[in-house]
Structure 1
Amino acid sequence: MLPTDEDRPLVQSDAEPVDIEVLLGYEVEEDPDDDTALPFDIREDALKEAAISFGARGGLAKRTWEIRKNLETRARYLDKVYDFEQLLVAAPSGFKIEPPIVTEAMNAMIVDFSGQEAAVSDRIYNIIKNARIVSAPRNWRQYLEREWGEVIPPPAILLPRDDDERVIWEEHVRKGWKVGYEQADEIFNDDLSRLTLDFEGMVRYKLLLAQGMVSPPYALQVDRGVTGGGEEMKVGDRAVQITGVPEFVTGADQWKPANQ
């Protein structure tokens, strides 16, 4: 018999999650003195829900762990592909400015509500997040590495007690496992899309900047000397502030080829 203490996780968040066979094997012995048993129809529904939830959490944890391990084998490659540091702009006092994230839509068409007017553009650029001061570059790990969490079993009252309930339990644990496993892949794909969007958006800004189609960020350092008082004093205190965020340059006569 496996442990059924609902307050004790099946696996700690930093350990490898168990396989589905462990979840399928959960059961409790029928206690003849147990007067907490639920009516059959209510118990069956509760058992199904508990099994699906348990399986989903187990599948999510297992697949998340597998993805994390897979990423570890590709860490060097990802470090090279998603090198955010090369995109940063130097700022005073050792700070860095993270460039804007720019999106691009090709052959965009807009039709007004009345349907009487329409417009089409070869390309539409949008700054969805502007420049900001940072002390360190982003890293792909911030996007793709997720914790898999603890998988806590259901209360003992919601575990199978006989062969009939065992069949119900295993069927719905498998269903839940499949859902959780697939959900982990969906989460990873969403995270990867967000990483790609942000990185390519910064690269796109650098290309547009080289063509004079967008302005650079401007930063100002103010030397404040000695500041503070009381229990704290700052010597050589300096403040850095972005005084001009990048904006698109609509004067096409100011643009130039990217290789110039």
Structure 2
Amino acid sequence: GARGGLAWRTFQIQRRLAETEGNLDKVYSFGYLLIAAPSGLLVEPPMVTEAQRAVIVAVGGQNAAVADRVYRINRGARIVTAPRNWRSYLERDWGKVDPPPKLLRPKNQRELAEWRKWINVGWEEGVQQADEVFEADLDRLNGDYMGMIRYRELLAQGMITPPYAAQEDRGITGGGSEMRIGDRGLNITAPALLNPKSDLWITAPR
């Protein structure tokens, strides 16, 4: 029951996603957020979270700290070969649901009635689980995407520094069973950092 409801509801969700994939491609266009790097590689920008009206009360309640906004770099820049895709977040397949073995099936009318009752209960729980899984996946997608957009916004305001990547030309390397010609290495040499010097901000924050 539960596995059947989970698979059925997930199939419905996936079918709806397939119907709207064109719009989703436009909404979650990760490619526009990437930073070009040497040798055809790309740098995925940091993900920055924002909390508003953050309050911290010390143990004992004798003092507290309040901030209008708190920015945090949750994940730094990364070197990638291709942009992310919303499909890797939202597409799921729970596989084929096999029927229970004969040993576990009802043997009389009383057991059959109980069987059907608990199958229905399990089905509803499976449907609910599928919705919860989708919501969690969607929250993760939105969090990552908005985190990269927030980085771009802060960068435009001078509130965060960009990451820097450097290429190292190593020429010909290896030997024996493998040799690399035109070998190059790319390293992020400086991470993005939040800039607390408000006099250097280009525009006032929201």
Q: TM-score, normalised by structure 2?
A: 0.97
Q: Report matched runs for 1:103-252 at 5 Å.
A: 103-252=49-198
1:62 and 1:148 in contact (8 A); partners too:
no
Q: Secondary structure at the match of 1:148?
A: coil
Structure having the higher Rg: 1
Q: Secondary structure at the match of 2:3?
A: helix
Q: Give the Cα separation in 2 of the matches to 1:111 and 1:165.
A: 57
Q: Secondary structure at the match of 1:236?
A: strand
Q: Report matched runs for 1:2-81 at 5 Å.
A: 55-81=1-27
1:102 and 1:128 in contact (8 A); partners too:
yes
Structure 2: any 5+ residue segments left out of the alignment? none
Shift of 1:153: 2.0
Structure 1: any 5+ residue segments left out of the alignment? 1-54
Shift of 1:257: 2.1
Q: How many residues align?
A: 204
Shift of 1:151: 1.0
Q: Percent identity?
A: 55
Q: Secondary structure at the match of 1:213?
A: coil
C-alpha RMSD of the superposition: 0.9
Shift of 1:163: 1.5
Shift of 1:174: 0.4
1:211 and 1:256 in contact (8 A); partners too:
yes
Shift of 1:189: 0.4
1:65 and 1:148 in contact (8 A); partners too:
no
Q: Which amino acid aligns with 2:39?
A: S
Which stretch of structure 1 is more off in the superposition, 142-151 or 184-193? 142-151
1:25-71 per-residue CA deviation (whole Å, 9 max, x = no partner) reads: xxxxxxxxxxxxxxxxxxxxxxxxxxxxxx00000011111111110
Shift of 1:161: 1.6
Partner of 1:23: none
1:102 and 1:129 in contact (8 A); partners too:
yes
Q: Give the Cα separation in 1 of the matches to 2:35 and 2:115.
A: 57
Q: Give the Cα separation in 2 of the matches to 1:233 and 1:200.
A: 42
Shift of 1:148: 2.1
